[in-house]
Each structure stands twice: as structure tokens, then as C-alpha cells.
Structure 1
């Protein structure tokens, strides 16, 4: 038996996957925001510990606030209170990018520049995490990034990859007892694009100093990516649901050109396929559609037992080609739609139209415009749908026997 918990994570992701009935193994993927951890996840982690079990694998898919802020809270508390044992952590940050680093020291002036950026980042995280912060608090408290907290806690960090990046080019498949995990994304090319983005950002700030091994660069890298939300810079044109009155209109919607996701941070997102006792589950993070299509196709799996669709149902991450190979009777859509208006109509339309002959369940952890639109009897009958919508105050449990 497999149990998947999809937590209310606002516009983010937080999933706990448990395998078996006794002496279970657990994979935790992302932690949403700080409130996600404190209000929902922490209680379940304590229950797992009481049973003598642990988190076998903790995956933080990429540096984005809706995936990582809760992870920072979790690891910070775990270091102090030993909430639960963690077997291994997968997370890519500055130290895993192939950046040529100068072995020398940086000047005091350069340190002050980085410390200023880190102070801004700490203030940002505290604000986004609903932590109290005074207007005068600008000092640097080292160790507030996830990377720093993982180092402090001495976790097995990317140990299956010999401490290198979680990348398909390094290792494609990892065995964890009775289960295995295939890495679908990222590859070294996607990580190289992220590296170039960050180095370009340093240049844009007219920081001409050499990048070194100094830990200040670890913190500055993580904070700068967290504070830069590319999606908010894009003028997004929504399709009005009120204009879609005929089911036939879906055929026109799905044929619209996909302006594919090019975000370097999303491209670095860890996407996986979990195999356990013949069951195959896809957790696709915020991955780019072209790399997901290629590597899912190469798995040779005809139908998946569960699919967490990429990037909260963004239309930029769901092509017709990708939808055609996402054959499943269970799809998870994790978002409240408040920040980026996800899921996009065109993404869900492609998914249900291409797979209209399959009986399928679509799980939403919050009610959104799109979940309401596909919940009509007409839509459910036409596309063989069952729509399960959470109330945003409790996790959704999905059982796979």
C-alpha cells in the first residue's frame, strides 16, 4: 500500500509519501511555506517518529519560496529538537554548480556587499514565513539558509550522488530497499543554465569580485534566487472561463501555442519517478516540459499510478506531447491559485482532453476557478472525471493499493 499526503501549501508543494503498512518507508518532497510545516507537517513527522520510523529521503526540488521556506523551518527545528531522523537529503545549491571558484580570499568590502544581500534575504524569509522582525533588524545571523542548516545538522546531503549535484547525468536511478527512484530532471545542462543566470546577476549588480569558496557565496546565492520571482515579471493573459461555454471549445484551447517555461530555477527542479512493488508515481516538481517528456518516455511505462503535474498546473509546463504520455487515473494539482493564478485552464484542458477515455481522479488541495469549472456533471461525464477538492485546512490523503 502507498499513501500520499498532499498538504495545504498555499501556492506551493508539500507531499509525504509512505510505503507499506508496517515499518514503513517515507519520502518527503518539499515543505511549502513555514505555516505548512508548523500547521500540518510537523504533527505527522512526530507521529512517524513515535512509530520508530524515519524520513528515508527528503527532497527539496529547487530554490523557490513556495517549496523551500517550510524546509528551512523544518531543518532549523530538526537541528535543535530532533523532530525526526532523515536518511538522506536531496537538494542542489551553490556548492553543487560547476562554478570555477577562486581559492583566494575576498576583501572586507566584498564581504560587506555579500552580507548586505544576506541580511536582505533573511528579512525577506522572515517576512514571508510570518516570523517577527523589527524594522531595525539588519544584522547577519549566519546559517539561516537551507544549505547552511543542512551543513550544521550533518545530514547525508546528496550522498547517493557522492556529494555532487542531483542530476540525471550523474546517476539516473537510486535504490532504497524495496523502492527505487528515477531522476527525470534536472540534467547538467539545466544546472549550467542556472549557474549562468546567477553569475549574470552578479555582473548586473556590478560585482566584479572573484567567486570563491567562502560560505558567504552559498548564502548569497540561495537568498538572491529566493527573492527573484521571474513569473511575477511576466504579463500573464488568462483565458476567461465565462467565455468557455461549450465543451467543444476545449479543442481550440489545447491547440494554442505553448510558451514553454524557460525559468532557470524551474529548470533546476528535481523531478522523479518512484517505483514500489510495481507501482509507478511521478512527482514532477516545476520541471520543464521538454526534459520531462523525453525522460518519462524513456522509462517505457505505459500508465502511471499517480502523477503530480508540473508547476502547479502552469500552462507553460504542460504541452500536448507531455500530456499524451501522462497516462494515469490519479492526478495531483497543488495550489490555491492566489499568487500566480494556477492552475491554468489550458494545462488542465490538455490533460483531460488527451486522456478523455481514461477514468481519472483529479485532486486539488484547494478550490480554484479551474477545479470548479471541471466539476460540473457535463464536464465529468464528457471526460470521465472524478474531481476531489480539499478545503485548504486539511491534507488530502490518496491511497494506492
Structure 2
């Protein structure tokens, strides 16, 4: 069994990856969404504990925080602030301030909110990645590191960030106590402001030309290629298409099909391009957002996915609401299979 559950955390990302080895179900959690009053993430983990826990405990082989945007990190902070006694975490993967700066610029008391939480709980931190400094936590996570194999045989390759992306983040993260602010849409993401329902004919939308995302936090996103039981999943976080493509060329020089792409940046047209789609030859696309805040996914992004594929699966983790639910009523020219969560589920469940 190899599955991805995309949890409903409003406009953010939270993905629970599960895989079975020798009859034992193992888990990887990627991001926690924004701070969530309804505590959806905790509800889902409680459900998984009841169904797949072992001796009343649930273990995450790794907890990944892809970058410091609030719609990815706040839910993790909330989870760790009131960490359930039954939750075990094998390793936290997160590039903090200490992974960006030379060792001689660091002091023992330095650390942002998440870094302090990780240390206070005594959790392993980037332990899976080599550290070229004496003592302290593991090393920085970037596309040049060797693949990591988690217990049970899940192979993980880092496609983003690249080293220039980490250096760019280091230039703006100048205060060790406080990371740079979430840029949100301030960086001019052009999140489809002219998109309006009802949809026009598919051929009316732009699929040529591309203006890339310029956000420094997004450029530092941890994008992962997961391989298990001959299936491949690409979790693109909010990463830049050019960086993910270069990571694929580095780790998979021979083009191989990807079985599922978690589309970058919730379906923004500025984070997925034709070069990336040509490289992965994928027919199943996951879009993680309620659409309520930023009106994701962009219509141009959906059109781009269709231009490369004949009737692909496009999977939404919300079945209702301002934006994803509208795709239930798409015109016939928009030829794709729209997949939504089952009624009353707090996630969409994708089996590979």
C-alpha cells in the first residue's frame, strides 16, 4: 500500500503519506497548513491512530516542514505546542536559520519559534542529512544531498531547494529570532484575479508563455520525490518549476513517469511550466486548497495540465467551496476527470 492523504487545511498544504512494509504501516507528514481552529490535522492523526496505530501509538518516520510560509508551518507549530503523548516523530526535516548561516555566526540561544520547539521536545532535526559542522543538528536539506531511505523502504530524493535558493533565503533571514515574513501574494503572484465563473471554453485560456514565481520563501521550498513499490510521487510544495526540473535532471537523468504530482503552490500558474510537465509524463495531479483565500487553482494552470495530457485525473482535496467545487460543473471542452473527497472526509485519499 502506498497512499497520499491531502488534508483539508483551508488554503494550505498538509499531506500524510503512508506505505506498508512487512505488514506494518509507516507514515510521513509533510506540512501542517495554517493555524486551524477546527484542528483538522489533529483529527486526521487521531483517526489514523485508531486505524493504523501500533500499541496505541502513531509514528511519523519524518515530519517535513517545507518552508516558513504560514499556510505550511503554523499547523505544525500548533501540533508540537500540544504534542499528543501517543505521537512519535523519527526526524524533523526543516531548514532553519542555523542551516543557512556560517557556524561562526550562530549562538546557542538562537532560533525561531519552530526551532525552539524542536529543541525543547528533544526531537531529531535533519538527522537524515549530513552535517559538515561540528556538533548540533543535521545538515541543510537541498537537492544536492544523497537519497534518503526511510524505515520500510520509502526512498526520498530532494528536488528543491537548490543551494542558490538557500543563499537567497539567508540574505533575507537576518534576524535569527524571527524568520522573514510570509510574502503571501505580495510578490505579485497574479493569482488569477481575472478568473471568473462560469468557465469559458478551454481554448480561450492561455497555455503559452510563462512568468515564474519570484518569491524567496517559495524558492527555498523542500520538494520531494518519493519512490515506493515502483511508484513515484512528486510533492512540489510551493517550489519553483525550474528548480524542481533541475532536481529531476540531477536525480533521475533518464526520464521516468511520475504517478502523482502534488501541484506546486496550490495551483498557481507561476509555479508549473511545460518543461516540468514534459519531464515527468504524469497523468494524475493533486491540488491542495479550499480556494477561498487566493482563488486557486488558476484557470490557466488547469488549461496547461490539459494541453499536455488527454483527459488526466485532477484531484481536489475540497469538494465544495468557492473554487474547487465549481469544477464539478466544467464545460465539456475541459476534458479531465475531476476527483473529489468522499462525503464527510477531512481529506482526499489517493492510492498509488
What TM-score do you get using the length of structure 2 for normalisation?
A: 0.85
Aligned to 1:13: 13
Instruction: State the Cα deviation string for residues 311-370 of structure 1 (Å, max 9, x = none).
Output: 101111011222222422321100112222211111121112111x26434334244536
Greater helix share, structure number: 1
Label 1:29 to 1:228 Cα distance change in 2 as closer, same or farther (>3 A). Answer: closer
| 2:161 is the alignment partner of 1:186 | yes
Aligned to 1:84: 87
- Please report how far the alpha carbon of residue 50 of structure 1 lies from its aligned counterpart in structure 2 after TM superposition: 4.2
- Paired with 2:186 and 2:161, the residues of 1 have a C-alpha distance of 23
Instruction: State the Cα deviation string for residues 203-260 of structure 1 (Å, max 9, x = none).
Output: xxxxxxxxxxxxxx2x323xxx3x442423537362334585333223xx111x3221
Label 1:23 to 1:2 Cα distance change in 2 as closer, same or farther (>3 A). Answer: same
- Paired with 1:275 and 1:145, the residues of 2 have a C-alpha distance of 32
Task: Kindly report which structure 2 residues correspond to 1:1-400, keeping only aligned pairs within 5 A, or say none.
Answer: 1-20=1-20, 22-35=23-36, 36-37=39-40, 40-44=43-47, 46-47=49-50, 48-50=52-54, 53-78=58-83, 81-99=84-102, 101-102=104-105, 145-162=113-130, 163-169=138-144, 171-176=145-150, 177-199=152-174, 217=176, 219-221=177-179, 225=180, 227-232=181-186, 234=188, 236=190, 238-241=193-196, 245-250=200-205, 253-255=206-208, 257-298=209-250, 299=252, 300-355=254-309, 357=310, 359-367=312-320, 368-369=322-323, 372-373=326-327, 375-376=329-330, 378-379=332-333, 383=335, 385-390=336-341, 394-400=346-352
Label 1:233 to 1:283 Cα distance change in 2 as closer, same or farther (>3 A). Answer: closer
- Paired with 1:319 and 1:235, the residues of 2 have a C-alpha distance of 15
Greater strand share, structure number: 2
- Please report how far the alpha carbon of residue 31 of structure 1 lies from its aligned counterpart in structure 2 after TM superposition: 0.8
- Paired with 1:161 and 1:105, the residues of 2 have a C-alpha distance of 21
- Paired with 1:343 and 1:50, the residues of 2 have a C-alpha distance of 38
What TM-score do you get using the length of structure 1 for normalisation?
A: 0.75
Matched pairs, number:
334
- Flag as ranges the 4+ runs of structure 1 deviating above 6 A: 103-106
- Given that 1:285 and 1:310 are in contact with CA atoms closer than 8 Å, whether structure 2 keeps it comes out as yes
Structure 1: segments with no counterpart, 5+ residues: 107-113, 115-142, 203-216
Aligned with 1:302: secondary structure?
Answer: coil
- Given that 1:23 and 1:53 are in contact with CA atoms closer than 8 Å, whether structure 2 keeps it comes out as no
Label 1:244 to 1:42 Cα distance change in 2 as closer, same or farther (>3 A). Answer: closer
Question: Which protein is bigger by CA-based radius of gyration?
Answer: 1
RMSD: 2.8
